[in-house]
Every structure is written in structure tokens, then in C-alpha cells.
């Protein structure tokens, strides 16, 4: 960590900051620069809380150097984590396609879409039984009936199912049915839910929060890993920006950054980033080109009648088109990774 002093900091203020560092058991090395002094904090094991020094007189800013996350960090685990789910596997040289409707609406709807996406090449089926909706009047999901439908989809298609646990109350139930438990963007910093996910034996798909920094996202993953669950899959789903031409802005650069920082696999969700289907195929191409380990895509056989996120759901034939377009892109840099 670096404690950067104001240009006009007095020698007494610098000395006081040095003493504050030393009083915490660390070593302090003041390094004079052209205009100001920066104090290097040494001998700390792990990250140091910046607020310990931020309020001291003469301190301009505190720059952390050591990463606050450990278990998710590539430093602690240099090789890529591969998460196996049934016949599917996420990470390290494969391209995993998870597709399905936003919400499970009926048995016929789920089985129809599952059959179509499986035929097109999807490796897993997605669909919410409990939906986090902005409005309390909007369709909230079928609950346990939806989970039972997902179990039937798995039985009939062999596809593992991904579904969201929206709170602590439903976690056990979702865990009993799901192959992968999704923690949604709105819950990315629901720390008690993350701790519960950390005690689960099922893999967890952790979406990036609507306005979360990469560090906050990785710290959320750290909560899950700290609880003992090492099967964490990250998913970039767009963050809120000033743009109105899409629902969110897909942060493509997050993919290589996360791959450098952590060993965990990272997917992209172009559907919730775009909010409209016309952008989903182009964003999918870009996400694969940037190195995502897979995609989470919303598909509906009758999107105009969908009970949630119809506008961003691809028609099944568009999903077929998407699969056809992304495979050659992926093959350019991972020739053996298509399965």
C-alpha cells in the first residue's frame, strides 16, 4: 500500500503518518517524489484497510497494492478452474452455451424451448422459477412448480439446469433442484446469501452487480469460496452507464481483466446487457472474441407472449444462427475447445 501525502504536507504530518503505519505493526518507508512524499507500507500480510490512514492530516490518498481477495486470485491458484456440471464443463478451453427463457412459464414452454436449444447445441438450460422483478406486480415466477418443471427438463433432455436463488428463504429449495445456482446481479452483494452459497455443494453462477466494480464482484466470489465452495462461475451481464441505446453496457474488457486476476471461469450474458434482441448476436460474437468461456442467452419460442424479458429473448432460429456464428470465432484461438 502507498500512503500519498499532500504537496503541502508538513514534516510533522509525514512523521505522524509514518508512526500510524508503524503502530499497526507494519514498516513505513517514506519515498520523496518531485512534489510530494509517498509512504510505502511494507511487511503487511494481505491487504490493509485504507481508511486506517485516509483521515490523517496531510494524507491525500491511499493506494492499495496488495489485492484484497485471496482465494479467487490467480496468485493463490495459477491454473484455470474448470467447473464440471453433468456432461458440461465450464472453463479452460471450452465454449459453454447456456440458453433458455428468462422465466419458466409452463411445462410446455420450458420443454419446447429446451428441445430447441439443445438441438442448436446448448450445453445447459436456464430458466428462473423465482424472479427478481423491479415491480411487485410483475410475474414473480412459478416457484417450486417451476423447479419441478426444470427437473423434468433435465430428465427429458439430459441438460443440466441453471436457476436463480433470489433469497435465503428459497435457497434450500433451489439447491435441491438446480444443477447450478444463479446469484443474480441485484444480489451480488447480499452477503448472507453469498455465505449460504459458500456452504452449498452445487456450483454457483455469480452475476456481476448492476454497478459493481470488478473488485467488488471478485470480493463477492471470495465470500462464496471462503465458505468452502470452490465451484464459482462468474458472469458479466452489463453494467449501468449513461447509454440508453441498450439496457446496460456489456463490459467486454471485464472478461480479460477477470481472467488475468482470477482462475475462475467467466461467462458473458449478452441478453441482460442488451435488453433488446437485435444486439444479442453481435454482442455474443464480441464476447466470444474477447475470450469468454461461454454465454448465457435468453431464448423463447414465443417472445411476444413471454412473461418476462421477451424483448431481449432470441427466437429459436436466431439462437441457431448465433451458435453458427460464434463457433468459428472461438475456433480461431481455441481449435480444440468445441464440444
For ligand PEP, the binding residues (CB under 6 A) are 102, 128, 132, 184-186, 207, 237, 272
Closest CA to 234 of 246, 280, 118, 216: 216
Minimum CB distance to ligand PEP, residue 302 (Å): 17
Q: Residue 205: which H helix or E strand, with range?
A: strand 204-207
Do 206 and 183 meet the contact criterion of CB atoms below 8 Å apart? yes
Do 85 and 282 meet the contact criterion of CB atoms below 8 Å apart? no
Distance (Å, whole) CA 328 – CA 188: 33
| Contacts of Mn ion in 85-124 (CB under 5 A) | 102
Distance (Å, whole) CA 192 – CA 212: 18
Q: Which is nearer to Mn ion, 39 or 129 (CB)?
A: 129
132 binds, among Mn ion, ligand PEP, none (CB under 5 to 8 A by kind): ligand PEP
Q: Which is nearer to ligand PEP, 152 or 186 (CB)?
A: 186
Buried b (16+ CB within 10 A) or exposed e, 54-67: eebebbeebeeeeb
Euclidean distance between the first and final Cα of the chain, in Å? 44
Q: Which is nearer to ligand PEP, 5 or 322 (CB)?
A: 322
Q: Which is nearer to Mn ion, 251 or 309 (CB)?
A: 309
Minimum CB distance to Mn ion, residue 106 (Å): 17
Minimum CB distance to ligand PEP, residue 140 (Å): 12
Minimum CB distance to ligand PEP, residue 166 (Å): 9
Minimum CB distance to Mn ion, residue 101 (Å): 8
Name beta bridge partners: 234: 206, 266
Binding mask 291-310 for Mn ion (x = CB under 5 A): ------------------x-
185 binds, among ligand PEP, Mn ion, none (CB under 5 to 8 A by kind): ligand PEP
Q: Is 235 in the site for Mn ion (CB under 5 A)?
A: no
Write down the residue that cell numbers 497494492 correspond to.
Answer: 65
Distances (CA, A) of 239 to 30, 69, 213, 337: 39, 21, 9, 29
Chain residues that interact with Mn ion, rule: CB under 5 A: 102, 309
Amino acid at each position: 500500500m502507498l500512503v500519498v501525502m499532500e504537496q503541502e504536507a508538513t514534516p510533522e504530518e509525514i512523521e505522524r503518518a509514518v508512526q500510524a503505519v508503524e503502530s499497526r505493526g507494519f514498516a513505513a518507508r517514506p519515498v520523496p517524489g518531485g512534489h510530494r512524499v509517498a509512504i510505502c507500507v511494507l511487511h503487511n500480510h494481505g491487504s490493509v484497510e485504507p481508511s486506517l490512514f485516509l483521515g490523517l492530516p496531510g494524507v491525500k490518498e491511499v493506494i492499495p497494492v496488495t489485492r484484497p481477495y485471496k482465494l479467487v486470485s490467480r496468485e493463490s491458484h495459477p491454473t484455470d478452474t474448470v467447473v464440471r456440471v453433468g456432461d458440461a464443463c465450464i472453463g479452460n478451453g471450452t465454449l459453454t452455451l447456456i440458453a433458455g427463457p428468462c422465466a419458466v412459464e409452463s411445462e410446455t414452454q420450458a420443454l419446447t424451448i429446451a428441445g430447441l436449444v439443445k438441438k442448436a447445441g446448448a450445453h445447459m438450460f436456464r430458466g428462473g422459477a423465482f424472479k427478481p422483478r423491479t415491480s411487485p406486480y410483475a410475474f414473480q415466477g412459478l416457484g417450486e412448480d417451476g423447479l419441478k418443471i426444470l427437473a423434468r427438463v433435465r430428465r427429458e433432455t439430459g441438460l443440466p439446469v441453471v436457476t436463480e436463488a433470489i433469497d435465503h428463504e428459497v435457497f434450500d429449495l433451489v439447491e435441491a433442484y438446480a444443477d447450478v445456482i444463479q446469484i443474480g446481479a441485484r444480489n451480488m452483494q447480499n452477503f448472507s446469501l453469498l455465505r449460504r452459497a459458500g456452504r452449498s455443494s452445487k456450483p454457483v453462477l455469480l452475476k456481476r452487480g448492476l454497478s459493481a466494480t470488478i473488485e467488488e464482484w471478485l470480493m463477492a466470489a471470495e465470500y462464496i469460496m471462503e465458505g468452502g465452495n470452490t465451484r464459482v462461475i462468474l458472469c458479466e451481464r452489463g453494467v449501468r452507464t449513461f447509454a440508453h441505446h441498450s439496457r446496460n453496457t456489456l463490459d467486454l474488457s471485464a472478461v480479460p481483466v477477470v481472467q488475468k486476476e482470477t482462475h475462475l471461469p467467466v461467462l458473458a450474458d449478452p441478453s441482460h446487457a442488451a435488453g433488446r434482441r437485435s444486439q444479442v448476436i453481435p454482442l455474443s460474437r464480441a464476447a466470444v472474441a474477447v475470450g469468454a468461456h461461454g454465454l448465457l442467452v435468453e431464448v423463447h419460442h414465443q417472445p411476444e407472449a413471454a412473461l418476462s424479458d421477451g424483448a431481449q429473448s432470441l427466437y429459436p432460429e436466431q439462437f441457431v444462427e448465433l451458435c453458427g456464428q460464434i463457433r468459428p470465432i472461438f475456433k480461431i484461438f481455441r481449435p480444440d475447445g468445441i464440444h
